[in-house]
Structure 1
Amino acid sequence: MNFRRLTPGILLLLVSTIGFSQNLDPKDISAHIAILAADSLEGRGTGTLGEIKAANYIADWFKRAGLEAKGGNGSFFEPFGVVIHYEGVPHQVTARNVVGFLDNQAEGTIVIGAHYDHLGKGYQSGSLRPDSQNLIHNGADDNASGVAGVIELARYFSENQTKEKYNFLFIAFSGEELGLLGSKFFVDHSTIPMESVAMMVNMDMVGRLDEAKGVTIGGWGTSPEWGGLIPALAKKNDLKFATDSSGVGPSDHTSFYLKEKPVLFFFTGVHSDYHKPSDDSEKINAAGEQKILQLIVDLVGELGKTNNTITFTEAGSPHAQGAQSDFKVTLGIIPDYSFNGRGLRVDAVTKNRPAAAAGMETGDIITQMGEFPIKDIYDYMKSLGQYEVGQSIDVEVWRKQENKKLRVKF
């Protein structure tokens, strides 16, 4: 079957074949991905009609699972504004997160999320195919696979006849491809108290598992619980894995880590179809994704056996590590990739690094580094390559309508 060209009638037939079950079934995973990555949704570009159709589909499954609508105003949808540049012209559109809550009357809540937006028909930025415009980028792996996981876990935990020791908040984020916009908006406008969030699980590209290589699990360093529990559970599920200690990266768990929440990020790796029109449903390894979902289910079960709080620990920043490997110096910040203004906005400052020692703060906009004006992230990266360890420079930042000069020593 050519999943990309499913007609509305066939889509409805596929939906009707998905039944509620206490088990996680690869056939159900495949059916969700086929629907979300069909040509009729035109690549789910942020704020497009195709993305709205995807949001409706996700909300329908949340409703069928008996979840409480937690987007705000009694709806599953949490809308937020996004500026999209088309042919150099900015356009204000409305994007929406899809949010559902499973209330177990517990003190803590586990957030399980994935982004559902993708690159649309190639007009939004990010395609790796040069002649991308007007070509549908279905994003089966990126990230219909993660959304299918969110839907299936919502279905599982609502139907498993077990009252876990955590509540669950299931979220499909919009605007991830434009700079983690949906997750950033959510953590700043959370529809549940952020202090009640015990941890966040993020699935982004979990549909291409290579059994020999396994899954990469990010956020390993954000809680000591992960190293004590996950290895045995992975072995039980015959799932090889590699770890990444960092709590930040180019996906939505970063927004929660920056709020000092333990995170886990599941990722089966980049492939030749990444951000291209060829990322289609027939290439998904649904049985491999089922193993990842079962690992998450088993982890929740183990966490429920103790009343201990899931401890947050500060993990390293891959941006800082990358800067050290590519340049002689690093500033020690996490850039705000969604910032469209002039300069480089700081999304987070790493402790005990040059920026922190100089007094730089989250929200500062870097406009000058030494003799180099900073108009965007590319200017920032170029300027870093000009400095040596031990060198001191003046860095100008715009903070709260005021220009400040900071002395940075690398």
Structure 2
Amino acid sequence: MKILLLSIAVLCFVSCKKEVVQVSIKEDVAFLSSDDLAGRETGTKEELMAAKYIKERMEAIGLIAKGQAGTYFQTFTFRPSTNPHEKVKFIDAGDGTTTGTNVIGYIDNNAAKTVIIGAHYDHLGYGGQGSLHRGSLEVHNGADDNASGVAMMLKLAERLTNQNTGHNYLFIAFSGEEMGLLGSNYFAKNPTVDLSKANYMLNMDMVGRLREDKALSISGVGTTPLWKQILNSNNTGFKLVLNESGIGPSDHTSFYLQNIPALHFFTGQHEDYHKPSDDHQKLNYDGMKMITDYIFNIISDLDASDKLVFKKTKNESEEVPRFKVALGVVPDYLFDGVGMRIDGVSEGKPAEKAGLQKGDIVIKLGDMETTDMMSYMKALTTFQKGDTTKVVVDRKGKRVEATIVF
């Protein structure tokens, strides 16, 4: 009931006033991840409710509509595929098709260069193929994934109004990310602004769970030679985990493929990832403010810069080993020590049955030492379903051995 009342209050606050209004990050997240929006699955009426809310927030901030035909919306239609290896094609609407909706706003400073700031707002609805939940159908609210990124994007839009006028700013809430980066892919190929003027793109996806050690992953730092200098010089206390590749499982990839320098900000996976328990009460709002300030300072530092030089990077996804089995854990992608630290354990999977726990660091799997994520994945490739092996973990400084049955 409290969420419903908050939703009504925020919508009224946004839509009933003409002046620029201040809505907190927490209020935006609470609305977008409420049960009323039923998980914001692409093409549903609830996703359209979220799109309308974001549009009204953009309008209240004073952003110019930059979608199709003078609106804030850019729609795209496709036929969903059950084959994950089959490329989705954009087609005309018809039987069996789904229509997603990007929401796009613009700050026009009459500048020669444009910064693109994006975050996807769709999620999994009641679950589906991407869900890690076992049991009855439940709303997957997606507070961290990715109401968090949308709320930070809107806060940056508020702060950039009449500031840092050396660039124009394009803000995009993408649909269809969970189905294969569809919204960003469509926009990149059907842009509503001149992409030759795009200086760089910033993507925020899962930025709501900053940990005590303040570990912040930033991918795409190899897409221009200047990124590392800018990111480090503006760092105000983050433990930065920097990744070179411009290709990854989020919307920055679509812009990298258009030769635009792009970054992805990410605070790490967790045991609520793609589950109904990804709720707004679990987010670190102080951490989100800290990241928002950091991104704003990066933008400010680059305001008077020349256009960034684009640089191609190695596609790290092509080097990921293919394996037929899994432990059933959520890896801690921000861990920079020796081994693979477990950030969550899935119910009924081999790891849980073997007694592995969140926080355990896998240091040996079978006959192979696991010194990092890549060596862990290579170890998995040596096993088939039905195999039994030993796993050794570091549990709070003690070596613990367990038996894994795949």
TM-score over 0.5 for the pair: yes
User: What letter matches 1:73 in structure 2?
Assistant: A
2:179 aligns to what SS in structure 1?
coil
Match of 1:126 in 2: 130
Separation in 1 of the partners of 2:239 and 2:13? 31
TM-score relative to the length of structure 1: 0.72
Match of 2:160 in 1: 157
How big is the shift at 1:221?
0.6
Q: Tell me: CA distance 1:22–1:56, structure 2 relative to 1, closer, same or farther (3 Å).
A: closer
Separation in 2 of the partners of 1:195 and 1:326? 40
Is 1:177 the counterpart of 2:178? The answer is: yes
How big is the shift at 1:72?
1.1
Unaligned runs of 5+ in 2: 83-94, 325-380, 383-406
How big is the shift at 1:20?
11
1:234 aligns to what SS in structure 2?
coil
Match of 1:285 in 2: 284
Q: Tell me: CA distance 1:228–1:132, structure 2 relative to 1, closer, same or farther (3 Å).
A: farther
Is 1:39 the counterpart of 2:43? The answer is: no
1:327-348 Cα distance to aligned partner (Å, 9 max, x none):
9xxxxxxxxxxxxxxxxxxxxx
| Conserved 8 A contact 1:203-1:267 | yes
Match of 1:98 in 2: 103
How big is the shift at 1:130?
2.6
1:52-106 Cα distance to aligned partner (Å, 9 max, x none):
00000000011111111111101100000032369xxx83121110011110101
More helix, by proportion: 1
1:219-276 Cα distance to aligned partner (Å, 9 max, x none):
11111111111112113xx222111111010000000001111001000000000000
Match of 2:65 in 1: 69
User: What letter matches 1:314 in structure 2?
Assistant: K
Q: Tell me: CA distance 1:224–1:132, structure 2 relative to 1, closer, same or farther (3 Å).
A: farther
Match of 1:139 in 2: 142
User: What letter matches 1:318 in structure 2?
Assistant: E
Separation in 2 of the partners of 1:75 and 1:189? 15
Match of 1:222 in 2: 223
Match of 1:115 in 2: 120
How big is the shift at 1:326?
6.8
Match of 1:314 in 2: 312
The within-5 A match list for 1:3-402 is: 6-7=3-4, 9-15=5-11, 28-84=24-80, 91-122=96-127, 124-131=128-135, 133=137, 135-158=138-161, 161-235=162-236, 238-306=237-305, 308-323=306-321
Unaligned runs of 5+ in 1: 328-384, 387-410
Separation in 2 of the partners of 1:318 and 1:107? 33
Separation in 2 of the partners of 1:176 and 1:230? 26
Separation in 1 of the partners of 2:58 and 2:285? 21
User: What letter matches 1:197 in structure 2?
Assistant: A
2:202 aligns to what SS in structure 1?
strand
| Conserved 8 A contact 2:188-2:254 | yes
Separation in 1 of the partners of 2:210 and 2:9? 27
| Conserved 8 A contact 1:221-1:245 | yes
Query: Is the deviation greater in 293-302 or in 201-210?
Result: 293-302
1:384-405 Cα distance to aligned partner (Å, 9 max, x none):
x89xxxxxxxxxxxxxxxxxxx
1:297-351 Cα distance to aligned partner (Å, 9 max, x none):
1111111133x2111111111112314x979xxxxxxxxxxxxxxxxxxxxxxxx
| Conserved 8 A contact 1:164-1:301 | no
Separation in 2 of the partners of 1:252 and 1:53? 22
Separation in 1 of the partners of 2:73 and 2:18? 23
| Conserved 8 A contact 1:20-1:155 | no
Separation in 2 of the partners of 1:286 and 1:220? 25
User: What letter matches 2:158 in structure 1?
Assistant: R
| Conserved 8 A contact 1:112-1:170 | yes
| Conserved 8 A contact 2:20-2:62 | no
How big is the shift at 1:16?
6.0
Match of 1:349 in 2: none
Separation in 2 of the partners of 1:314 and 1:305? 24
1:165 aligns to what SS in structure 2?
coil
2:117 aligns to what SS in structure 1?
strand
User: What letter matches 1:101 in structure 2?
Assistant: Y
Separation in 2 of the partners of 1:303 and 1:77? 29
Separation in 2 of the partners of 1:22 and 1:227? 34
1:44 aligns to what SS in structure 2?
coil
Percent of aligned positions that are identical: 41
Separation in 2 of the partners of 1:17 and 1:63? 12
Size of the aligned set, in residue pairs, is 312
**Could you list the runs of 4 or more consecutive aligned residues of structure 1 that deviate by over 3 angstroms after TM superposition?**
14-23
How big is the shift at 1:15?
5.0
